[in-house]
Amino acid sequence: MLALEGMTCASCAMRIEKGLKKVPGVRNASVNLAIEQAAVTYDPAQTNLEQMVRSVEAVGYKATPQVSPTQETMPLGTAANLSDAPGTPAASPFQEDEQSKRKR
């Protein structure tokens, strides 16, 4: 989970999502504007939180990792799902993304 700062609208959230999805190793990213957080599914063998934070900063926003150290160090070949952090809804980021597409 990444805590985000600087978003003011849905376009901001989409810009961050697109930036995160361009990071090699990121499988999925879902930004929640209301709670200013991004849930990211990624392969720790290909990327890390620092690279994701830099990608958010590159599109003009601030990001702070909100994850325990054990979640970043998953075995090779296993995608780490940052949405498993405590207090996160049970739906996966992919499911949330699909639900938002249906509403359009």
Instruction: Give the predicted TM-score (pTM) of the model.
Output: 0.65
Q: How does pLDDT run across 38-91, given as a tens digit for each residue?
A: 999 999 999 999 999 999 999 999 999 985 555 543 433 444 444 444 444 444
Domain that holds residue 58: 2-103
Secondary structure of the chain in the HEC alphabet?
CEEEECCCCHHHHHHHHHHHHCCCCEEEEEEECCCCEEEEEECCCCCCHHHHHHHHHHCCCEEEECCCHHHHCCCCCCCEEHHHCCCCCCCCHHHHHHHHHHHC
What pLDDT does 17 receive?
98
Q: What is the CATH number of the domain that holds 26?
A: 3.30.70.100
- Number of independent structural domains in the chain: 1
